[in-house]
Chains A and B, each alone.
Chain A
Amino acid sequence: MSVLIDADTRVLVQGITGHQGTVHTRNMKAFGAQVVAGATPGKGGQEVEGVPVFNSVDDAVRKTGANATCIFVPAPFAKDAFLEAVDAGIRLAVIVTEHIPFHDMLVMYHYGRSKDARIIGPNCPGIAAPGKSKVGIIPNVVFRPGRVGVVSRSGTLTYEIVNGIKERGLGQSTCLGLGGDPVVGTSFVDALPWFEKDPDTDLIVLVGEIGGTAEEDAAEYLGRHVSKPVVAYITGHSAPPGKRMGHAGAIIARGKGTADSKVRALESAGAHVAKFPYEIPALVEQYLPRPSGR
């Protein structure tokens, strides 16, 4: 088992004919994902990295049985791309696209929810389950199959942390990047139950950042419903209020969303909070339950 995806996941790539779509189709295939179709309006009949391209998602789903999509479509068209995927029956969408207006995301999120479709992202690196599949752009080289689950609002920082876990001789069950936007399809609170239930995950690493209250919400959930050990890390301690720190969602607004508030909440919920990113692998090793008789 892993979270959200497994070796049987049949991946569609929307925007496969663009530079990013093509590169990451290649990388997903190299990771072992079954990329079965691409969709770009007007480019049906082509092949990209050996994957057939269709004009519409509906066509792609009917002919290939795709059941998850990875969206690289530019921001002005991302809403349309997602709605097309949902209406074609797809129930898992990883949206890599950056700069989607949150008003569009509100419509996407609530429409998706009404059809039981799950969004990961937008502006996110996606999901990877080493040895099984990957939907998104997390670099293949940082992984090694193992029992640590990682859930994060960051991209590159997550890669570095996952890589650190690997260099410590440990591995990951599933790594899930939620994205740095103010409105995300999946928050920590949505994702934690999946990791808690996943029999392949023994410890959860949570990487948060300033802005919003997703980490405080997560802390409240952790305290009540999560039995597995949690190692957490929060970025943005030195960020001044009112400045957007790279991610659209990383902003301390009207006194809300500070790193201190998040660290306090997570610590009081029993999470082991690292002060520096390079401390995470050692904490993981320290709190990872030892296999008994396995």
Chain B
Amino acid sequence: MVKLAEWRGKEIFRKYGVALPKGTVVRAPSEVADALRTAGVALPCVVKAQVLAGGRGKGGAVRFAATVAEAEEATKAILALEFKGEKVHEVLLEEKLAIGRELYVSLTLDRSRRLPLAMASAQGGVEIESVDESAITRVWVDPFPGLVGYEKRRLVAAFGLTGALARSAETLLGQLWRIFDEEDAELVEINPLAVVGDRVVALDAKVIIEDDASFRHPEYSDVRDDRTPLEEIAREKEIAFVQLDGNIGVIANGAGLTMATLDVLAEFGGRPGVFLDLGGTDDPKKVTEAFLLMAQAKPAAVFLNIFGGVTRCDTVAKGLVEAMTQVPPESKFPLVARIRGNNEAEGRAILQAAGVTSLTDLKESVQAVISAAGGRA
């Protein structure tokens, strides 16, 4: 998930011709005066923190400024914020438009129908989840023709717009569809979409680009996401790694098995701290990398749960023993292993010889790792 901050989403919008307020991005209060002048942003202006979390308006992350000095002051205050755990690196300054009604529009994926889903509502500016179903118009878009004329008209009817405004909204819908399709988006959302004079203007932009399409979009490779630093390293090494609240690390192979292991651990009173899915690999180098990454997360104990189907348990065990020797002494953690499948007896013998607690029963293993981590929560 490449979640783009508002300013980055609006850069894409601009490329596709979506109507936007005039705006400029700054990273320090000292840049404000020049930036406003260069971009031709008139005062009063809106000063917005560029963070991914929602609820900025209520949370003090959006302010208004009537003068350049006020804009500098607001920028300074916002850059010092930590908004819902997120540091603010950029501030977007935009002209304050005289807006009429606020609308909602989005394009996303309907997984069940396997179709892009367009949603429109006349009730914008609030969370769409809080809008009554009867006030939302949904159109499922066939990817082959894409979003066509009558579908646009149906969505625009939900806005209750006519004349020039309706035409402006239809144009916007065409642009949004192209963004969704050509930029490999998971989500394109404008909330609110505002009526300004005789056209609709995107006051906000929420764009998420699909991770798996990143090979087509190197332009987003520098996007800071809401991953932790370790999750970021894992992503570069192509290891599925998720940091959670607890203190026990789980390494397993396959997403389903890793999740199931976390569930059993939690059910018996353990607190999962890291989800690490080795995937289909038995490459010793990858196993070592995974182990070192786990060590950096400083778990109180680690549970390794492997089912060797195609891979052989003894190969996995050898890789593990090798990997453990590379963990620096100050980061060592107690390890409980459960290895099942091909050549499991040989695998277990190798682990036991290396001093690793090696069991076969899942419940027993989970209890052993919980006690190694210092007991139940």
Dominant SS among interface residues on chain B: mixed
Query: Would you call B257 and A107 a contact (CB within 8 A)?
Result: no
Q: Does A160 contact B (CB under 8 A)?
A: yes
> Distance (Å) between the CB of B362 and the closest chain A CB?
5
Query: Would you call B267 and A275 a contact (CB within 8 A)?
Result: yes
A183 to B143, CA, bound (A): 13
- Which B35-65 residues have C-beta < 8 A from chain A? none
> Distance (Å) between the CB of B342 and the closest chain A CB?
6
A66 to B213, CA, bound (A): 31
Q: Mark A147-171, 1 if CB is under 8 A from B, else 0.
A: 0000011111111100100000000
Query: Would you call B212 and A248 a contact (CB within 8 A)?
Result: yes
Q: Does A235 contact B (CB under 8 A)?
A: yes
Quick one: which of B1, B216, B256 has the most chain A CB within 10 A? B256
In the assembled complex, which residues on chain A have CB atoms less than 8 Å from the CB atom of B242?
243-246
A102 to B109, CA, bound (A): 9
In the assembled complex, which residues on chain B have CB atoms less than 8 Å from the CB atom of A107?
143-144
Closest to A244 in B: B1
Query: Would you call B256 and A207 a contact (CB within 8 A)?
Result: yes
Report if A245-B275 is in contact (Cβ < 8 Å); known contacts: A106-B114, A139-B342, A277-B260.
yes
| Stretch of A40-48, A193-201, A212-220 that contacts chain B | A212-220
Query: Would you call B210 and A103 a contact (CB within 8 A)?
Result: yes
CB contact between B275 and one of A23, A159, A210, A246 (< 8 Å): that residue: A246
Q: Mark B75-114, 1 if CB is under 8 A from A, else 0.
A: 0000000000000000000000000000000000101101
Query: Would you call A76 and B215 a contact (CB within 8 A)?
Result: yes
Q: Mark B337-354, 1 if CB is under 8 A from A, else 0.
A: 000111000000000000
Query: Would you call A75 and B212 a contact (CB within 8 A)?
Result: yes
In the assembled complex, which residues on chain A have CB atoms less than 8 Å from the CB atom of B255?
154-155, 180, 209, 245-247, 250
CB contact between A106 and one of B143, B254, B272 (< 8 Å): that residue: B143
In the assembled complex, which residues on chain B have CB atoms less than 8 Å from the CB atom of A187?
112
Query: Would you call A183 and B362 a contact (CB within 8 A)?
Result: no
Query: Would you call B210 and A278 a contact (CB within 8 A)?
Result: no
Q: Does B240 contact A (CB under 8 A)?
A: yes
In the assembled complex, which residues on chain A have CB atoms less than 8 Å from the CB atom of B280?
137, 155
Closest to A189 in B: B112
Q: Does A83 contact B (CB under 8 A)?
A: no
Q: Mark B113-129, 1 if CB is under 8 A from A, else 0.
A: 01110000000000001
Instruction: Please count the residue pairs between chain A and chain B whose beta carbons lie under 8 angstroms apart in the complex.
Output: 166
Closest to B244 in A: A240
Closest to B278 in A: A156
Query: Would you call A155 and B254 a contact (CB within 8 A)?
Result: yes
Q: Does B247 contact A (CB under 8 A)?
A: no
In the assembled complex, which residues on chain A have CB atoms less than 8 Å from the CB atom of B210?
101-103
CB contact between A212 and one of B112, B144, B252, B258 (< 8 Å): that residue: B112
A24 to B280, CA, bound (A): 13
Query: Would you call B115 and A157 a contact (CB within 8 A)?
Result: no
In the assembled complex, which residues on chain B have CB atoms less than 8 Å from the CB atom of A243?
242, 244
Q: Does B139 contact A (CB under 8 A)?
A: no
A87 to B75, CA, bound (A): 58
A251 to B111, CA, bound (A): 12
Closest to B183 in A: A103
CB contact between B111 and one of A110, A138, A212 (< 8 Å): that residue: A212
Report if A156-B254 is in contact (Cβ < 8 Å); known contacts: A75-B212, A103-B213, A107-B143.
yes
Q: Does A225 contact B (CB under 8 A)?
A: no
Query: Would you call B258 and A246 a contact (CB within 8 A)?
Result: yes
Query: Would you call A209 and B259 a contact (CB within 8 A)?
Result: yes
Q: Does A89 contact B (CB under 8 A)?
A: no
Query: Would you call A255 and B111 a contact (CB within 8 A)?
Result: no
Query: Would you call B114 and A110 a contact (CB within 8 A)?
Result: yes
CB contact between B263 and one of A103, A214, A236, A255 (< 8 Å): that residue: A236
Query: Would you call B256 and A102 a contact (CB within 8 A)?
Result: no
In the assembled complex, which residues on chain A have CB atoms less than 8 Å from the CB atom of B262?
238-239
Report if A183-B264 is in contact (Cβ < 8 Å); known contacts: A101-B184, A157-B256, A277-B362.
no
- Which B157-214 residues have C-beta < 8 A from chain A? 181, 184, 186, 210-213
Q: Does B265 contact A (CB under 8 A)?
A: yes
Query: Would you call A278 and B363 a contact (CB within 8 A)?
Result: yes
> Distance (Å) between the CB of B276 and the closest chain A CB?
9
Q: Does A145 contact B (CB under 8 A)?
A: no
Q: Does B291 contact A (CB under 8 A)?
A: no
> Distance (Å) between the CB of A277 and the closest chain B CB?
5
Closest to B362 in A: A278
Query: Would you call A235 and B256 a contact (CB within 8 A)?
Result: yes
Query: Would you call A237 and B275 a contact (CB within 8 A)?
Result: no
Query: Would you call A110 and B142 a contact (CB within 8 A)?
Result: yes
A interface with B by C-beta (< 8 Å): 23-24, 27, 75-76, 99-103, 105-107, 109-110, 137-139, 141-142, 152-160, 163, 180, 182-183, 187, 207, 209-214, 217, 235-240, 243-250, 254-255, 259, 275-278
> Can you spell out 12 A-B residue pairs with CB atoms less than 8 angstroms apart?
A75-B215, A101-B213, A101-B216, A103-B210, A159-B307, A160-B257, A180-B255, A187-B112, A214-B112, A238-B266, A238-B267, A246-B255
A sample of 7 more A-B contacts (CB under 8 A), given A142-B309, A154-B257, is A101-B210, A156-B307, A158-B256, A238-B259, A238-B266, A249-B111, A277-B264
Task: Please give me the 4 A-B residue pairs with the lowest Cβ-Cβ distance, nearest first.
Answer: A154-B256, A246-B255, A156-B254, A139-B309
B interface with A by C-beta (< 8 Å): 1, 109, 111-112, 114-116, 129, 142-144, 181, 184, 186, 210-213, 215-216, 240, 242, 244-245, 252-260, 262-267, 272, 275, 277, 279-280, 307, 309-310, 340-342, 361-363
